[in-house]
Chains A and B, each alone.
Chain A
Amino acid sequence: MIDWMAFVIVLVSALVGTVVVVGFYSFGVRLLVRAGRVPVVSPATFTDAITVLTPAEIRSAEKKAAKAARKNPLSAGQKNVALAGAYSCFSLCAIAVLYGIYLIVPALHGGG
């Protein structure tokens, strides 16, 4: 009476959910870079975090990003398309998460 199907359902649904969320987010990051908007997110200030960048390192990363943006071979229109693509990717990612939560909470769709 072991319901093996249930394990397959967990594997498949978790895999699809993760691949959709991580995939769209990653492509969003890639398109941002392509559009010349390389994200430079410095770690939150916390002395014990293993990823600690000094202000000088952050400045150099920002400079590198700005340089890459100047050398971008895309035209202004292509950049806008890439940027729009990036934002759509992030939106799809958010929608996927919200849809997943909607499916799980019975109160939201009237099921029991």
Chain B
Amino acid sequence: MPLDITLVIVLVIALALFFDFTNGFHDTANAMATPIATGAMKPKVAVGVAAILNLVGAFLSTEVAKTISGGIIREGDDGVLITPELIFAGLIGAIVWNMLTWLLGLPSSSSHALFGGLIGAALVGAGLNAIDFGVLMSKVILPAVLAPLTAGLIAFIATKLAYSATRRYDNKPDGRSGFRYGQIFSSSLVALAHGTNDAQKTMGVITLALISVNLQAPGDGVQFWVVVVCALAIALGTYVGGWRIIKTLGTGLTDVKPAQGFAAETSTAATILASSHLGFALSTTQVASGSVIGSGLGRRGSTVRWKTAGRIGIGWLLTLPAAGIVGALAALVAHLGTWGVLIDAAVGIGTILFIFLWSRRDAVGHHNVVSEVAASGEAVVIAPEPESKKVAK
């Protein structure tokens, strides 16, 4: 194998693992923000559990990875030739867009950034033929729209159920703080589900890269060492990201009660696990946000702030095309050959370093650290309950 192809493959794997790491880093809060906020778990324990369960989850299923490595982009004899340079360009697009939205505090989805980057790069590099739009529509775009709605609806029903099953009209203790024990398990399930969906995306990209240089036959499953390194990268990211959350949590978290948190987390975990099983590559952040909003609406006296909800929705819609444009630009440059790839790498690493340094200069607030999931709770206003007023007196 020529030296420059080896170089590109090594770069792709390194970048993909870095993406996996940032994904875990970014998403710890999704699983663990509510149990920490309701006091169900101590932060150190919560973060440790999240990291371990992400690791375990990554080993449970490879359906989503197969969607990416064998579905969306046509490779092999009857398809187009996907070069590792294109995958590299796609990853650069995804990472740059991800870092940018993280810095600006825009709600986005690392998963959609990844798909956007890859699709943009493939379109520029290999033309319209490169993308199987049927698979793209049925396994990525439609799940992206439907999954948060599904999770929201289920969380709404589950919250209603949890509250009505434990409601007491005689103002005696209702025992709802008992849901804190349940939350320990439900949030752990979310972390597990996160591993089954998000770690798979990186596995899919690495597998796609290996197929593109004939280190693996098209249609083969994910190699075991790929599963291991991806699982480790996401678990490490989860753990490291958690420490930042511990330091900065406390501002901007919405009022989540144990019963509501339990219902929301169960709904998130169930939706993600069912989707992973069918190979839908969805955004775990969006599903969790949908659940938090749905469960907020399930409580008495709640109303939606449509403006906040709309802002969140627009951020989601923008991610795919925006990352696609960055990916396409990176692919144009990568077409120049080895030098193009090196320029891409330099620009990508430069952007990451710049954004990292910039973010350290800024005060870290909840807009760029805690999670869009917690922020999405702000889309629902809940009138204070009469019982809690009595306690306050």
Contact = CB atoms under 8 A, between A and B. Distances in A.
A30 to B, nearest CB: 5
A97 B184 CA distance: 13
A44 B42 CA distance: 6
B181 interface: yes
B165 A57 contact: no
Given A44-B42, A50-B253, A68-B173, A15 B154 contact: yes
Given A11-B150, A15-B154, A29-B175, A97 B134 contact: no
A51 B179 CA distance: 13
Interface SS, B side: helix
Given A22-B161, A44-B40, A97-B185, A14 B274 contact: yes
A79 B56 CA distance: 40
A32 B176 CA distance: 11
B292 interface: no
Contacts of A41: 40, 177-178, 180-181, 258
Given A26-B161, A46-B36, A104-B60, A18 B277 contact: no
B37 A51 contact: yes
A25 B270 contact: no
Contacts of A97: 185, 189
Contacts of A22: 158, 161-162, 262-263, 266
A18 B39 contact: no
A76 interface: no
B274 A2 contact: no
B41 interface: yes
Given A17-B270, A19-B157, A49-B38, A10 B278 contact: yes
Contacts of B37: 49-51
B31 to A, nearest CB: 15
Contacts of A6: 138, 278, 280
B283 interface: no
A79 to B, nearest CB: 14
Interface string A1-17: 11100110111011101
B275 A39 contact: no
Interface of B: 36-43, 45, 60-61, 134, 137-138, 142-143, 146-147, 150-151, 153-155, 157-158, 161-162, 165-166, 168, 172-182, 185-186, 189, 192, 196, 249-250, 253, 255-259, 262-263, 266-267, 270-271, 273-278, 280, 391
29 contacts: A6-B280, A10-B150, A10-B280, A13-B274, A15-B153, A17-B266, A17-B273, A17-B274, A18-B267, A19-B154, A19-B158, A22-B162, A22-B263, A23-B165, A26-B161, A29-B165, A30-B175, A33-B174, A38-B173, A39-B178, A39-B181, A41-B180, A41-B258, A43-B40, A46-B36, A47-B250, A49-B38, A68-B172, A101-B273
Contact of B39 (A3, A32, A44): A44
A2 B138 contact: yes
A68 B168 CA distance: 12
Interface hub of B138, B153, B158, B173 (most chain A Cβ within 10 A): B173
A75 interface: no
Nearest to A72: B172
Nearest to B162: A26
Given A2-B138, A32-B178, 13 more contacts: A10-B280, A17-B266, A18-B157, A19-B161, A29-B176, A33-B168, A33-B174, A40-B177, A44-B40, A50-B253, A68-B172, A68-B173, A104-B196
- Top 5 nearest A-B pairs (CB, nearest first) are A43-B39, A48-B250, A39-B178, A26-B165, A14-B270
Given A14-B270, A104-B277, A57 B181 contact: no
Interface SS, A side: helix
A17 B134 CA distance: 29
Contact of B60 (A39, A47, A105): A105
Interface of A: 1-3, 6-7, 9-11, 13-15, 17-19, 21-23, 25-27, 29-30, 32-33, 38-52, 57, 61, 64-65, 68, 97, 100-101, 103-106
Contacts of A30: 165-166, 175
Contacts of B150: 7, 10-11, 14
B61 A106 contact: yes
